[in-house]
Amino acid sequence: MTDPTSLSPLDLETPDKTFLDANELVINMGPQHPATHGVLRVILRLDGEKVMGLECVIGYLHRGVEKIAENRTYTMFNPYVDRMDYVAAVSNGLGYCEAVEKLLNVEAPPRAQYVRVILTELNRMASHQLWLGTHALDIGAITPLFYTFRDREEILKIFEKYCGARLTTHAFRIGGLQYETYDGFEKDVKTFVAFVRPKIDEYEELLTTNRIWLERTKGVGKISGKDAIALGVTGPVLRASGVKWDIRKALPYANYKNFDFDIPTGENGDTYDRYLVRMAEFRQSLRIIEQAVDHIPEGPIMAKVPKVIKPPVGEIYHSIEAPKGELGYFIVSDGSTQPYRIRVRPPSFVNLQALEVMCRGQLVADVIAVIGTLDIVLGEVDR
């Protein structure tokens, strides 16, 4: 019986010449590797140092989340959603809750929407901070990791005070929020915004004009806007290739219409531009948070949602702009308390397809930089 992982177009027989005589060498990276951000296996076909072909083998973290969804009620499925992109759990929750709310044709009250936006943008910052730390670490700068994690602690403290959990927060409920904001929530958020602004400048100071960083990231992992759209890439990766597409502006959800922010884009679509785009997104998130936290209206935090959620028969696709790209939920309801099918469109899964296009012709050491710059989380790639 053939091993399913060996059915690859790369033709993985060992060459009969020694490794340095052969023109092509097949190297296996992972699934245990310090730089693959999870259990990702990459099979590289090399010519000397150049990458000729690349194949990703995924599924090492597959937990059958979508199948589990068919056997849980809508409310019971809410905590599962956090565990997909475990770094940006709040965004996952937002997408799911909004999708079900659309099915039920209810809308969360304004107060809930403002708090949702604040928490989601805080989570975007936390996710980008983790991305920055690990990406810099892969390229060799060991210090930004500690700075970003230390600052990320402040965000996690706010989450912990709000809903009791730091990482997999389960912050939102279908129809609004469960917990009222705690006393001092606005003060905490404002203090955080003032605290983190100079820190972002600190990260930029360490990396943005550092010539070694520039040499490692400029021109590495290029992808053109056309290729990105053809592959379905979304998020900062798409925006760095010059395509100005952000679902918060294109198909607004929550109440992003009320806020004033820009969409940073890049020009070349290389690793450096993706870095600049995400650094700019830090600042835009701060803008949104500042605008939101001053204007949280009073009111109920939960819409009128029945105790037993039985959406009408139908289907819906709802997507949001998660930190990593377009996170979409396609929910098919057959009228019962349990969904007939939930299909998640994870941004990292689709972005990972671009890895081969980005790595063709690059050197081996760049493959790691490109994996880092795609900002993938295996939890949502494999679900």
Partner 1 sequence: MHALMQYIQSYLDSDKTPGGAGNIFWATVYILLVFAGLSVAVIAMNWLERKILAHMQVRLGPMRVGPHGLLQPIADAIKLLLKEDIIPAEADAVVFWIAPFIVVLAAFTVFVVVPFGPTHAITDMNIGILFMLGVSSLSVLGIVTAGWASNSHYPLIGALRSSAQMVSYEVAMGLAVVSVILMTSLNDQSTGTLSMIGIVQAQLAQQEWFIFKFFPLGLIGFGIFAIAMVAETNRAPFDLPEAESELTAGFHTEYSGFRWSLFFLAEYSAMIAVSSIAVTLWLGGWLRPFPNLLVAPPWDLVFSLFPAITFLLLAAMCFYNTARMPKHPLFKVQTIGLAGFGVVLGLIGLILFLPAVRLRVNDIFWFSAKVAGFMYLYIWYRGTFPRYRFDQLMKVGWKVLLPTGLALLVLTAFVGMRTELWAELQGVWRP
Partner 2 sequence: MNPAGMIPAGTNPPVATPFFFYLLAAIMVIGGVMVITRKNAVHSAMALITTLLAQAALYLMLYAPFVAGVQIILYAGGIMVLFLFVIMLISIERAEKERQFNKQWPVGIVAAAALGGLFIAVYTTTTKGRALFPEGRMTYGETQNTQQIAALLFDRTAGQYMFAFEIASLLLLVAIIGAVVMAKKRI
Note the residues at the interface with partner 2 (CB under 8 A). Answer: 18, 20-21
Q: Does 146 bind partner 1 (CB under 8 A)?
A: yes
Which residues, listed in sequence order, are joined to residue 46 by a DSSP beta bridge?
25, 51
Helix axes 74-82, 89-104, angle to 10 degrees: 160
CB of 20 to partner 2, least distance (A): 6
The residue among 102 and 278 lying less far from partner 1, judged by its C-beta, is: 278
Q: Does 34 bind partner 1 (CB under 8 A)?
A: yes
CB of 50 to partner 2, least distance (A): 11
- The neighbour count for residue 20, using CB atoms within 10 Å, is 7
Report the alpha-carbon distance of residue 279 to residue 214 in Å, rounded: 15
Q: Does 125 bind partner 1 (CB under 8 A)?
A: no
The residue among 37 and 173 lying less far from partner 1, judged by its C-beta, is: 37
Residue 138 interacting partner from partner 1, partner 2, none (CB closer than 5 to 8 Å by kind): partner 1
CB of 54 to partner 2, least distance (A): 22
Residue 200 interacting partner from partner 1, partner 2, none (CB closer than 5 to 8 Å by kind): none
- Residues 10-29 close enough to bind partner 1 by CB under 8 A: 19, 27, 29
Q: Which residue from 210, 224, 255, 268 is in contact with partner 1, where contact means CB under 8 A?
A: 210
How far CA 379 is from CA of 32, 199, 348, 361, in Å, comes to 15, 29, 9, 29
Tell me if 79 sits within 8 A of 174, measured CB to CB: no
Residue 142 interacting partner from partner 1, partner 2, none (CB closer than 5 to 8 Å by kind): partner 1
Q: Does 139 bind partner 1 (CB under 8 A)?
A: yes
Residue 21 interacting partner from partner 1, partner 2, none (CB closer than 5 to 8 Å by kind): partner 2
The residue among 20 and 308 lying less far from partner 2, judged by its C-beta, is: 20
The residue among 17 and 304 lying less far from partner 2, judged by its C-beta, is: 17
The residue among 48 and 312 lying less far from partner 2, judged by its C-beta, is: 48
Q: Which residue from 52, 167, 206, 229 is in contact with partner 1, where contact means CB under 8 A?
A: 206
CB of 7 to partner 1, least distance (A): 24
The residue among 99 and 139 lying less far from partner 1, judged by its C-beta, is: 139
| Farthest-apart Cα atoms in the chain, separation | 74
SS3 3: coil
For residue 324, which of 227, 249, 200, 234 has the smallest C-alpha distance?
234
Q: Does 157 bind partner 1 (CB under 8 A)?
A: no
CB of 359 to partner 2, least distance (A): 21
Those residues whose C-beta lies under 8 Å from the C-beta of residue 267, and which sit 6 or more positions away, are 242, 273
For residue 354, which of 131, 27, 54 has the smallest C-alpha distance?
54
For residue 186, which of 127, 257, 114, 254 has the smallest C-alpha distance?
114
- The DSSP line for 67-133 is HHHTTS-HHHHHHHHHTTSGGGHHHHHHHHHHHHHHHHT----HHHHHHHHHHHHHHHHHHHHHHHH
For residue 10, which of 35, 28, 34 has the smallest C-alpha distance?
28
Contacting residues toward partner 1, per CB under 8 A: 19, 27, 29, 34-35, 49, 136-143, 145-147, 150, 206-207, 210, 212-213, 215-216, 363-366, 368
